[in-house]
Amino acid sequence: MLSLPVFSSRGFATSWVLLDPQEVVDRAEVIVLGKYDFSSNPVSGEIPFHGLEFKVSKVIKGQDIPSTIIAGIDGNDNGWVDDFQQQGGELLLFLEKKGSKFLTPVAGPNGMIQVKNGKVDDQSETVRAFYEKYLHEEQETIVNTEHKVKAVTDVNQPSEEKNQSKFLPAIISAAAVLLVLGVRYARRKR
């Protein structure tokens, strides 16, 4: 990857190529919202990353993501991230597996989107608009999926009580047949 100096409102201390937001989304294997725990013990990783505990408040993409994960952070980003979190901000992390023991943000700060009060906090209107739309669409997908699953469950899946009452006549019939066969078998044995 070619590294060029990049200057922005985030004050990137390490030089990173600015990626198109759609590429960040496409490369991400896991997408979570939450906060780094700077009081946790750092885990060594491939330079410039080290791992820190990340308290997940919301999982957007990924399977079986626990409430605390180890997520990479460029050591040069600790300052601005800690300051932002102390001001009530959270980070939307777009994480990928790149040779470390832990997931790291896609292209460093490109995969670390600042969120404050539920809104993307970025001076670039293009970036802010893209991630605001992304979050809105993801929320709609989650709500619509939950609604569809509930609707399918309600309409197509009888409740457990209905299932039990459906099988009750079959169970009674089977028991009656077994009783009759048992009586016949007992009479023949005599």
Per domain, the residue ranges of the chain are 21-129, 148-189
Paired tokens of 144 = 């619509």
pTM across the whole model: 0.66
Does 156 have pLDDT greater than 70? no
Out of 8-17, 30-39, 61-70, 73-82, least confident range: 8-17
Paired tokens of 14 = 């390490």
Q: Beta partners for 116?
A: 119
CATH label, 21-129, candidates 1.10.3470, 2.10.260, 2.40.50, 2.60.120: 2.40.50
Query: What are residue 11's phi and psi, to 5 degrees?
Result: 70, 50
> Where residue 3 falls among pLDDT bands split at 50, 70, 90?
very low
